[in-house]
Chain A
């Protein structure tokens, strides 16, 4: 299906790119949900058709803005959801097949009587159990076979017919299940701030001094939640040049009655010896536990390590990316306009291209992101709880499938 993606692309303005991870993730999920609901699925291998459709759209979305990793994350989450739902329905069907092969008198759900199953069904069951169990399949009970139509229980011959009959009813069920799961995903994205903020009380005690850099909505909600629970603490906010988001955060904190001191980024090392904890937000969390964060964060993390101050990163699970950061300064960074640093009018006389090689003498570097290696991070607080950086790879196995790391449609039809 051909949809005009550019009209749906939410990242029109350049101003909100960095803080828009949550909004971007939600809109991507909603877009994919409508793609799935409008996709026609054939009788056989409809999971494959859905996956193809999502991959086609996802490829374009990711290519439009490779630096906004939340987009790729949501595309991979949806693909994983499709695979999981397909797997659980297949397991249910096999379980139902199991029951229909047994005599009608028995109504129990005992699936161990597999002596009458055909070899193909056994192979299918074995294939499905070879995969490591994910939380989704562990948590949901294998559905009762009531939904599976009871066909004649003669065994091998009718197996093919029952399978196709299962699949036709399963096709509608698959789409339905997938859309339900995507709705849950959207709900998780929207409520991630509340879930993270609930954990605030466990980490902030009385008379604490907290340092943060720039502005992050997650951090704001986190600190508000601690204030609600009557913890008194002070906040040092580093202004976060050249976007100066720290000023906005300080304004919000003061409006809620928190003692706030605004400092320049150059004073971070000077002040961090008197700070108890550093709490920051992230743009993305990579598979090795490294963090892509607004520029200046590596400075804060190094200073915190030197003074043995815990460095806590708050991130919703939609920011967890299954990729490893190879050369993150170049590949996962974007360079912004030099006019944020230098006034072009004042320095226009220095942009003289007359020197020998034809290149100007003056280069201005204004990166938007910084990479913080995992050894500098003390704790990640996500909506699924608090984790060590060394645990992040395990969360990836829960949320993503290994087949989806490279979102590209394959040239051959079917998977």
Chain B
């Protein structure tokens, strides 16, 4: 992530699978993060399909899905990546003169750097990759190749099942106890866990209504809104500026997270911090729903030291507003920059409780879980 170091940038460009033009007009504060022109990346990658003989097609497919934005959300991206790695392992055969452990690890690393080129890793994916590599490293040497491959695929299956799917079920059970009749629940953007909670509570027969808060440029809340309405929940839709207006009728706020860091900071979609701050000002409890595999031992104080930058054209262009878009030709002006942050860091004092598969914990207990249960990765 040291994009301001020119030497490293040049090295990574040489290894790059497809070339990405750097964005002009970068914001000074974020020069340490990569920012590319998004227009030509996808076509460039698609045209390289037949040239990439070293790339497994499953990994290539996942990479294209990331780049195009078809697969979004921490859990979905992690599952897609792990399934692709399963296929890689199944199709793998050790070349002569090399050990399985070293060669497979090197292959996985190269695929990971390709995925990073398509879209920077989320923390959940980073944790999953570390788990994967540690499982490969821990393989006993007496196993034959087929047995080793079977063991690795089994491990991936167990990881996905226990850490993601079952964890989500546990979280949903816990969180549904926090929903009472007559509640007004607010959520921001689109989180798969929060959606599951709302649908489960609705199935249990609890009477509540939902406020979906959305923001530019992705408008992720609209997809969530559609799915909730299809199931018959009563919903209110608004945009993030109106959060102060609507907060006085809200009783609970449920938010998803991309990761929770060791100082209790929640790292999630940009705008989550604003919603949590307003909820705190109105004394509404904020509940973060996050699986434990997304916890990370990093610490972060603000949203600037580590983040992801999206396409600046998404900011410059407002769909459906031609009067505002007349400034589109201005993107080349040197005085004007557009900043499209993807994530932000919510301070721990705004969060009342984190609901994980290990139970409902305060934000201060996150480093405890990171430390105590890290061993579980090795034991499984």
Question: Which residues on B sit within 8 Å (CB–CB) of A147?
Answer: none
Asked if B139 CB lies within 8 Å of chain A CBs, one says no
Write out the residue numbers on chain A whose beta carbons fall within 8 Å of the beta carbon of B241.
240-242, 265, 295-296, 299, 370
Question: What mask results when residues 112 to 143 of chain A are scored 1 for a CB within 8 Å of chain B, else 0?
Answer: 00000000000000000000000000000000
> In the assembled complex, how far is the CB of residue B340 from the closest CB belonging to chain A, in whole angstroms?
7
In the complex, are the beta carbons of B238 and A366 less than 8 A apart?
yes
Residue pair B341, A270 in contact (C-beta under 8 Å): yes
Chain B residue at smallest Cβ distance from A338: B237
Q: Could you say which residues of chain A place their CB within 8 Å of the CB of B273? A: 269-270
B273 → A minimal CB distance (Å): 4
Give CA–CA (A341, B333) in the complex, Å: 29
Which B residues are CB-close (under 8 A) to A306?
277
Q: Which B residues lie within 8 Å of A299 (CB)?
A: 240-241, 243-244, 274, 277-278
- B345 near A365 with CB under 8 A, answer no
Chain A 344-368 near chain B by CB (<8 Å), digits 1 or 0: 0011001000010000011111110
B238's partner among A265, A347, A365 (CB-CB below 8 A) is A365
Say yes or no: is B315 at the interface (Cβ < 8 Å to chain A). yes
B234 at the interface (CB under 8 A from A): yes
Partner of A298, one of B244, B333, B336: B244
Q: Could you say which of B46-54, B97-105, B113-121, B224-232 contacts chain A?
A: B224-232
Interface flag for B239 (CB, 8 Å): yes
- The residues of A that contact B236 with a CB separation of less than 8 Å are 362-365
B78-86, B162-170, B214-222 - interface stretch: B214-222
Q: In the complex the two chains form, what is the Cα distance from A355 to B234 in whole Å?
A: 10
Set of chain A residues within 8 Å of B336, measured between Cβ atoms: 250, 254, 260-262
Residue of B nearest to A341 (CB): B239
Determine if B302 and A273 form an interchain contact, defined as CB atoms under 8 angstroms apart: yes
Whole-angstrom CA separation of A187 from B222 in the bound complex: 49
* Interchain CB contact under 8 A, B304 and A264: no
Which residue on A lies nearest to B315, using beta carbons? A262
**Nearest Cβ distance between residue A229 and chain B, in whole angstroms?**
19
Q: Are B338 and A261 in contact, CB atoms less than 8 angstroms apart?
A: yes
**Set of chain A residues within 8 Å of B229, measured between Cβ atoms:** 350, 361-362
Find out whether the CB atom of A361 lies under 8 angstroms from the CB atom of B245. no
Please tell me if the beta carbons of B237 and A342 are within 8 angstroms of each other in the complex.
Answer: yes
A115 to chain B, nearest CB (A): 64
B226: chain A residues within 8 A (beta carbon) = 347, 350
A241 with B239: in contact, given A269-B273, A350-B226 (CB under 8 Å)?
A: yes
- Residues 292-335 of chain B: 1 if any A CB is under 8 Å from the residue's CB, otherwise 0? 00000000001110010000000110101100100100100101
> Chain B binding site: helix, strand, loop or mixed by DSSP?
mixed
Chain B residues, CB < 8 A from A244: 318, 321, 324
B27, B239, B340, most chain A CB atoms within 10 A: B239
Residue from the list B242, B277, B339 in contact with A365, Cβ < 8 A:
B242
Chain A CB within 8 A of B369 CB: no
B232 engages A355 (CB within 8 Å): yes
Is there an interface contact between A239 and B246, defined as CB atoms closer than 8 Å? no
Q: Which B residues are in CB contact (< 8 Å) with A343?
A: 320
Contact (Cβ within 8 A) A260 B337: yes
Q: Which residues of A contact B357 (CB under 8 A)?
A: none
Q: Which chain A residues border B330 with CB–CB below 8 Å? A: 251, 254
Residue from the list B246, B274, B281, B335 in contact with A269, Cβ < 8 A = B274
Q: Which residues of chain A come closer than 8 Å to B320, judged between CB atoms?
A: 343
Instruction: Decide yes or no: A264 and B244 within 8 Å by CB, A241-B215, A258-B335, A342-B222 being known contacts.
Output: no
Contact with A along B1-18 (1 / 0, CB 8 A): 000000000000000000
In angstroms, how far is the closest chain A Cβ from the Cβ of B191?
15
* Bound CA span A263–B217, Å: 10
Query: Chain B: which residue is nearest A330 at the CB level?
Result: B245
> Out of B237, B242, B302, B337, which one reaches A362, CB within 8 Å?
B237
Which residues of chain A have C-beta atoms less than 8 A from B245's C-beta? 295, 329, 333, 365, 367, 370
B residues near A248, Cβ cutoff 8 Å:
324, 327
Q: How far is the CA of A247 from the CA of B29 in the complex (A)?
A: 21
- Determine if A259 is an interface residue (Cβ-Cβ < 8 Å): yes
The 8 Å CB contact of A266, one of B215, B233, B248, is B215
Residue ID in chain B nearest A371 by CB atoms? B244
A242 shortest CB reach to chain B, Å: 6
Q: State in angstroms the CA–CA spacing of A263 and B83 once bound together.
A: 36
> Which of A258, A267, A342 has its CB near the most chain B CB atoms (within 10 A)?
A267
Lowest 6 A-B CB distances belong to which pairs?
A266-B271, A296-B241, A270-B303, A298-B244, A270-B344, A269-B273
- Sample of 10 more A-B contacts, CB < 8 Å, known A265-B216, A347-B226, A366-B242: A239-B216, A244-B318, A261-B337, A264-B315, A265-B240, A270-B344, A296-B241, A299-B241, A361-B234, A365-B237
A residues sitting closer than 8 Å to B (CB atoms) are: 239-242, 244, 247-248, 250-251, 254, 257-271, 273-274, 295-296, 298-299, 302-303, 306, 329, 333, 341-343, 346-347, 350, 355, 361-367, 370-371
A–B pairs, 5, beta carbons within 8 Å: A264-B271, A264-B340, A269-B303, A299-B240, A366-B242
